Structure 1
C-alpha cells in the first residue's frame, strides 16, 4: 500500500519534472483544490489539469520542500516555489495541505506567501 507521504512526494516529483500525466495520476478524478480557508480553485481533473499545464510553461518552475508533516492521511508541506512572474523570476513560500484517500489526493488546500523577486 502506498503511504500518504509517498503519494504527496510522487506529486512533488511530477511537479518538478513537469510531468502532467504523472502529476494527475496522484490526484483522484474528482479531487478538489482550495485556497486555505477560502474558495474552491478547481474541481476534478478537467479543471485541475489546465492549471498545472499553464504553470508548467514557466521555464524556472521548481518547488523545494522545506518541511513535511504527516498525520494519518493528511500531509502538510512547506515549500519554496521558484516562479516566473510578469515582473521577473522570484519565489513564494507555499503551505500545501493534502488529504489522501485510497492512495490519491482527494483534497488540497494552499496558502501562498508574498512573492520575492530575485535581484538581477
Structure 2
C-alpha cells in the first residue's frame, strides 16, 4: 500500500491513536490541519492546537478505538468507530463518525460526530 494514500494515512492515524503515540499521530496531520464537529464549528486549527486535544485524551488508561466500517472515496476516508473511554462517571463507549480529507499524504481536515455515551 502506498504510505501516502488516504487509506494508509488514516490507518496510520488510527494505529497511532490506539498506541497513544502522540508524535506518530501528529505526523499524519498537515501543519495547518483543521478539526471540526461534523456540520458544525471548528474544534482546532493547526497541530499546535490539535496536539493538546489528543495529549489529554491519551491520559485515559482504557482509551481504544475499534473500527467498525471504513469507506474511501478519492481522498476522503470515513470511519465508523466504537471508542472506549474513561469518562468522569466511569468506563464507557461512544460511537464516532470520523471524516478525513487527505492531501499530499497528510490529513488536512477531519470532522467528527459523536454518538450517545454508553456506560459499561
Shorter-chain TM range is over 0.9
2:97 to 95, 99, 102: 95
Q: Give the match's secondary structure for 1:96.
A: strand
C-alpha RMSD over aligned residues: 0.5
Once the two structures are TM-superposed, the CA of residue 60 in structure 1 deviates from its matched residue by 0.2
Once the two structures are TM-superposed, the CA of residue 101 in structure 1 deviates from its matched residue by 0.5
Question: 2:62 matched to 1:56?
Answer: no
Question: Structure 1: which 5+ residue stretches go unaligned?
Answer: none
Q: Which residue of 2 aligns with 1:107?
A: 109
Q: Which residue of 2 aligns with 1:116?
A: 118
Q: Which residue of 1 aligns with 2:15?
A: 13
TM-score between both structures, scaled by the size of structure 2:
0.97
For residues 19-77 of structure 1, give each alpha carbon's deviation from its aligned partner in whole angstroms, at most 9, with x where no partner exists.
00000000000000000000000000110000000000000000000000000000000
For these two proteins, the number of residue pairs brought into alignment is 118
TM-score between both structures, scaled by the size of structure 1:
0.97
Q: Which residue of 1 aligns with 2:42?
A: 40
Runs of 4+ aligned residues of structure 1 deviating over 4 Å after TM superposition are none
* Counterpart Cα distance in 2 of 1:87 and 1:50: 22
Q: Which residue of 2 aligns with 1:82?
A: 84
* Counterpart Cα distance in 2 of 1:3 and 1:50: 26
